[in-house]
Amino acid sequence: MLILPGTMPDYHNPGKGYKMGPRVIALRASGRGGSIPLLHPEDLMIDNENIGLAKISDAIRIAEMSRELIESGLGWSWTPSRVAREINDKFTNVIVTREGNGIIGFAVMKYLDQEARLNLFGVHPDCRRKGIGTRMIIWLEETALINGNGIIYLETRLKNQSAREFYKSLGYKVVNRIPGYYRGRETAVQMAHDLWSDVALT
């Protein structure tokens, strides 16, 4: 069921409801899109309008970026067919940030009962430290709240200190270490952001 612009999410019935928020519907309706991997990073003007749901035609580029930016040295698990499955999955949002005809950021978030899981997240190296990652996280967290998901979990590679700094800057805390999480040979650091407690504090 989709939430319509102007209607309120049911926070007392978490997990039973909406996959997409108003902005997602608006972007879908606008038919915005394109999938050619060209970058114009020197002239970035990113706002939330550049963020939207990925199309099936984006799957190859997202998979390639995952292999290069996230999975290096691990083997390629986020293949184009896996990304395409996630794009088609009704409990998952695959989003991209576009600049011109290129993709400069991407994320995969799965919505479970009370929690959401950020399974993939990256920004093109030429476009980092410009707030693109932060905008995508805000977009995903807004959607999670509308969907009734109170907490977001994610895993990062132990050696990925910069990702941890990024997530910490957005309120995420380290909650666990999972040895062998990646292909049985690399430890994951699990982080979480309790969205409901943040809402309660404001």
Which residues are at the interface with ligand COA (CB under 6 A)?
69-70, 121-123, 128-134, 154, 156, 160, 162-163, 165-166, 169
d(CA 98, CA 135): 12
The H or E element spanning position 93 is strand 92-99
Closest residue to ligand COA, judged by C-beta, is: 133
53 in Cβ contact with 127 (< 8 Å): no
Q: CA 73, 77, 79 angle in degrees (round to 5)? A: 120
Query: Closest approach of Cβ 189 to ligand COA, in Å?
Result: 10
Q: Choose between 52 and 133: whose C-beta lies nearer to ligand COA.
A: 133
Identify the residue whose tokens are 């691990």: 74
Residues forming a β-bridge with 188: 157, 178
Query: Closest approach of Cβ 60 to ligand COA, in Å?
Result: 18
Q: Choose between 10 and 198: whose C-beta lies nearer to ligand COA.
A: 198
Nearest to 91 by CA among 121, 115, 72, 73: 115
Q: Choose between 62 and 70: whose C-beta lies nearer to ligand COA.
A: 70
CA 24 to mean position of chain CA atoms: 13
Query: Closest approach of Cβ 153 to ligand COA, in Å?
Result: 11
Query: Closest approach of Cβ 20 to ligand COA, in Å?
Result: 23
Q: Choose between 101 and 162: whose C-beta lies nearer to ligand COA.
A: 162
Q: Choose between 81 and 134: whose C-beta lies nearer to ligand COA.
A: 134
d(CA 13, CA 187): 35
Identify the residue whose tokens are 């978030």: 109
